[in-house]
Chain A
Amino acid sequence: MHNLLPLFIGIPLGAVFLGLIIAKLWRGVGDLFAFLGTLSLTAFSFCLLGHPPFIYKMGGWIPPVGINLVSDGLSTFMLIVINTVAFLAICFSLKYMELYTAKPKYYALFMLMLAGMNGVALTGDMFNLFVFLEIASIASYALVAFGCEHEELEASFKYIILGGAASAFILLGVAILYSITGTLNMADMAQIFSSGKINKAALFALAFFTMGFGVKGALVPFHAWLPDAHPSAPAPISAMLSGVLIKVLGIYALTRIIFNVFGFTPTLGTILMALGGLSMVMGALLAIGQDDLKRLLAYSTISQIGYIVLGLGLGTPLGIMGGLFHLLNHATFKSLLFMSSGAIEYSTGTRKLSQMGGLNKRLPVTTATSTVGFLSVSGIPPFNGFFSKLIVIIACVEAHQYIYAGVAVFVGLFTLLYFMRVQRNLLFGDLPETLKGIKEVPFLMCLSLVILTLLCLGLSFLYPLMSKTILASARDALLDTSAYIKLVLGG
């Protein structure tokens, strides 16, 4: 159990390099390694459930001198989300990526991105966080441009420029924090900041972090790359990007730093809530007039990320619980929606809503799963979206933030509006002449869609159990900084 943690980074990296070597002889090795790798990582991440928190000292060096990997409630939660969505995306891409050439390189980049995300979720060292962040980001820049068409290259260029600038800001923040505290270990920094007043330069570093991680996590006003990048990527990559990457690289890193390193104060909470509220409104308003299905889903991602950040910014236990539950739910239903849009594109060959309609006659499984996805994201009971949005709204009311609660309800109704319009036009209605001959998607793609649908339904029933186990330990890991310090430095 103890040695399991470095395997989260070691297995994907091994799959990358070994896969690229053997791919010169046999092309199918990429599929095999990716499937087995993600399956084993999902199994390992579920093994970590319920285990008491522990740290892993890399190379035997004790903290604060060495780099350590921390497995507490929040890291375990993020690892489960990342690896499960990655496994389902690999199942989907076994068939979907036949549309593209250079499949072994796709698997190599995917596993590299997975290694980076696992590293970000696990690490307890500030510069190590930056290095893994960069690994995951660079792999995702290349994956967005994978198809090498006009629009994909343009979208990837915008993404890489904004992402590169954000990384420079993050590194500047790390440099300023190092110059103040003299250490790079997050727990050591937390100890220095918790005893005594915070140096003004640390607030400067916090502003840089908000900008840098805000770009990575697509918070408004740093969201400009997302509506171009997520539609242009291949469908399983869009599912990974929207479902996990922006959450791990942006939201997880920012909340880990704000809650555990700096210590949560009401001012920081107000900033997070303002960013979240702005994201919710802008995402919903911009999503209404979209013609392209995946661009609509990308704007809806911006809106839902706003819910998560609003919940986390409240700082109350119920708010954080709501934010984390919405993070889990959004990972499931947004990846479901992107994968079903990929399935629709695989069958019909187009993404424009105005050219499609009445797909339920020809694609039964895809229609059923997309309907579940649309209902979940709009917040209809009994699917999981309803419960997490409800918890966030109740938490807002409880913390006397009535304006934000009202905005959240309003945005929820808006989401319902545009998704119902999309569902009615896309899935029901008349089938156009050009699409009469389309067939259902292959079995492996259906499998991923069906598993995610079952998760969408099952998570709402599992919520009472989860709120006492996984989500509770994740919330306590965020709220209780002294436990984090004691875990890393005291042990």
Chain B
Amino acid sequence: MKRKTLKERFKAFLQDIKQNPDALKSAILSMFVMGLGQFRNKQKSKAFILLGVLFLIIAVEIFTGGYIYALTGEMNQFPGVPGEMFPKINFIRDYGGLFSKGIWGLITLGQIPIMASYRGNVTEAFNKVLTWLSADNSMALLGQGLIALVIISIFIGIYIFNIHDAYTTRKKFNQGEAIETGKQYVKRLWTDMFPYIILLPTLVMVMFLILIPFMFSFLLAFTNYTYKNASLLYTVKWVGLTNFTRIVADAGWAGIFLDVILWTLIFAISASVTTYFLGMLQAIVIESKYVKFKKFFRTILIVPWAVPGMVSLMVFRQAFQQDGLINKILLSTNLMPTFSNFFHAIGLTSSAEGIISWLTVYGNAGLTKLVIVGVNLWLGAPYFMMLITGVLTTLPKDLYEAAAIDGATKWQSFKRITLPLILRATLPAIVMTFTFNFNNFGAIYFLTGGGPGRPNDLVPQSMLILKGVPGATDILISWIYKLSFTANEQLYNMAAVYSIMIFLFIGSISVFNLARAKTLWEDD
């Protein structure tokens, strides 16, 4: 069957309305007051529920706002003063409730900072009595606006249901079909609603602690909210795509951004690949027939997985200090000059002299990155070792026997049988590890803190002024962390911009995974 076009559907809709003028009346009644059409349809319980929702929304708006003060004369007592920055009373700002003020706040992000002159008075941080004297707080308004937006969307959904329901019920009634009474409806509602009722706590949690914050972060990318604007002295403004164009248009910013992105990718790929293949090697060696005491070796090699990563990373941070474990071993075995010269010869360090600085010198950044990948290998290999050991025990033995009969060498049967089977069984884990490493905050932050720092002459002037310069080993996530948390460097808006970048990148990988994991979210 051909799908109807929008125009055809609209025509059919008009036709339907013309044929049922009585049902239309119910619908129009419900359009004006929620539940009124249901009254006309003699479904009292349903009508009361809908009416209740409407009243609840109105009551919330009235009691969270200052309408009562406005009506009792506050507006006459403190009128707007011509000649001020805001000469007229801004009614919604001053007296609006959760919804109206929320939407106003979402659009404007506030207009009146602290110490401004408004209605003949000086605004304060917070005035309990004359609430309009409180300065606008952009972030609170943005939060309130999002909450209002979500609740209003839900309300609009109920409102549309209410009109549709009034119409169809009346239509059925007129066509002589039996319609359920309000009481039956309430009873059915309870059984039908049971899943929604037990899901409600989860939905509320997810909405307030995941979805709304997510939208909030997303919107921050389009504002000028930085540590400089993070006070009541300034209100935050929408700035459109300025933050995005900055990292594209400014060559200095683009260079640093690309530098970070590139290192993030290199780290994520090399960390995943090295851990995977070392894990596989360990699993194969331990499971081979040449090794006894398998359990003993396995237990020891799993230790890095069992120790909390945070702790071992910080221990390694100490081990790679100037006076740490590694340098001590190199010194006591007289290998220091050999290593020092070697790292210099392959271009990882800037000087071949004396004791090696593993983590702190910008010229040695290449070496620092090598250390990060190496330490991550120490931490991550056991996971794949365990996983692949599990896969190895499930490999079908007869395949190898058949291969041996056909004259395949050991290497051939490994390459053609073992490797493909392991790869297929562990593919989801590889993808997961890659996305995990892309956001592997700990591996960077606990080990190097993002350092060594970039010298000032390699950073564009505008970034030096705004601050929030990434270190040489910062990946996106650790940079975002610094951007939103280091004192006097908080560029919340730029942090949000980079978060969106990660979101897009991880999102595209996730879509790939989602298609694979269809059985998970499809219902049976």
| A and B interact | no
**B residues engaging A (CB < 8 A)?**
none
